[in-house]
Structure 1
Amino acid sequence: MSAPHARLITLTAAERRRLTLLAYSHTAGYQQVIRARIVCDAARGDSNAAIARRHDITVDTVRRWRGRFADEGLAGLADRPRPGRPTRFTPVQVAEVKALACQLPAETGAPLSKWRCPDLAAEVVDRGITASISASTVRRILARDTLKPWQHQSWIFIRDPDFAAKASRVLDLYARTYQGIPLGPDEYVISSDEKTSIQARCRCHPTLPPGPARTMRVNHEYQRQGALAYLAAYDVHQAQVFSHRSAKTGILPFMTLAEQVMTREPYASAKRVFWVVDNGSSHRGQAAVDRLTARFPNAVMVHTPIHASWTNQIEIYFSIIQRKVLTPNDFTSLDQVEDRLTAFEQRYNATARPFRWKFTPADLEDLIARIERHEQKELNLQQPAGCDHQPAAHALAA
Structure 2
Amino acid sequence: MEVSRRLRIAPDTVRTWRRRFIERGLDGLCDDPRPGVPRKITDADVERVIVKTLEETPKNATHWSTRSMAAATGMSQSTVSRIWRAFALAPHRSQTFKLSADPLFIDKVRDVVGLYLDPPEKALVLCVDEKSQIQALDRSQPVLPMMPGVPERRSHDYVWAGTTTLFAALEVATGKVIGSLHRRHRAAEFKKFLAKLDKEIPVDLQVHLILDNYATHKTPDIKRWLLAHPRFHLHFTPTSASWLNLVERWFAELTQKKLKRGVHRSVQALERDIRAWLADWNEQPRPFVWTKTADEILDKVAATADESLTQVTSSASLGSGSGSACGY
What TM-score range do you get, normalising by the shorter chain? 0.7 to 0.9
3-state DSSP of counterpart to 2:200: coil
TM-score (norm 1): 0.66
Which whole-Å deviations, capped at 9, do the CAs of 1:166-223 have from their partners, x for residues lacking one?
111000001134xxxxx11x20111111112111111111111110100010111211
Q: For the Cα contact (< 8 Å) 1:228–1:246, is it kept in 2?
A: yes
3-state DSSP of counterpart to 1:153: coil
The residue number in structure 2 matching 1:281 is 215
The residue number in structure 2 matching 1:362 is 295
| Identity within the alignment, % | 26
| Partner Cα distance (1:337, 1:259) in 2 | 24
- Give ranges in structure 1 of 5+ residues lacking alignment: 1-17, 19-68, 126-131, 178-182, 383-398
Corresponding letter in the other structure for 1:166: K
The residue number in structure 2 matching 1:337 is 270
Q: For the Cα contact (< 8 Å) 2:191–2:222, is it kept in 1?
A: no
The residue number in structure 1 matching 2:238 is 305
Corresponding letter in the other structure for 1:364: I
| Partner Cα distance (1:338, 1:332) in 2 | 11
Q: For the Cα contact (< 8 Å) 1:164–1:364, is it kept in 2?
A: no
The residue number in structure 2 matching 1:159 is 101
Matches within 5 A, 1:160-309: 160-177=102-119, 183-184=120-121, 186-266=122-202, 268-270=203-205, 272-284=206-218, 287=220, 290-309=223-242
3-state DSSP of counterpart to 1:337: helix
Greater relative CO, 1 or 2 (CA 8 Å, sep 6+) = 2
Which whole-Å deviations, capped at 9, do the CAs of 1:140-183 have from their partners, x for residues lacking one?
21111221111111111221111000111000001134xxxxx1
| Partner Cα distance (1:194, 1:103) in 2 | 43
3-state DSSP of counterpart to 1:155: coil
Q: Aligned match of 1:133 in 75, 92, 98?
A: 75
Deviation at 1:365, TM superposition (A): 3.3
The residue number in structure 2 matching 1:320 is 253
Deviation at 1:281, TM superposition (A): 1.9
Which whole-Å deviations, capped at 9, do the CAs of 1:18-69 have from their partners, x for residues lacking one?
9xxxxxxxxxxxxxxxxxxxxxxxxxxxxxxxxxxxxxxxxxxxxxxxxxx9
3-state DSSP of counterpart to 1:263: helix
Q: For the Cα contact (< 8 Å) 1:292–1:301, is it kept in 2?
A: no
Corresponding letter in the other structure for 1:282: T
Q: Are positions 1:142 and 2:84 aligned together? A: yes
Q: Give the 3 Å change call, closer, same or farther, for CA 191–82 of structure 1 in structure 2.
A: same
| Partner Cα distance (1:85, 1:188) in 2 | 73
Comparing 352-361 with 160-169, greater Cα deviation is found at 352-361
Q: For the Cα contact (< 8 Å) 2:208–2:234, is it kept in 1?
A: yes
Structure with higher Rg: it is: 1
Q: Are positions 1:93 and 2:45 aligned together? A: yes
TM-score (norm 2): 0.79
3-state DSSP of counterpart to 1:102: helix
Task: Please report the RMSD computed on the Cα atoms of aligned residues, expressed in angstroms.
Answer: 3.0
The residue number in structure 2 matching 1:120 is 69
The residue number in structure 2 matching 1:54 is none
Deviation at 1:381, TM superposition (A): 5.9
Q: For the Cα contact (< 8 Å) 2:99–2:305, is it kept in 1?
A: no
Query: Could you list the runs of 4 or more consecutive aligned residues of structure 1 that deviate by over 4 angstroms after TM superposition?
Result: 72-76, 371-382
Corresponding letter in the other structure for 1:227: T
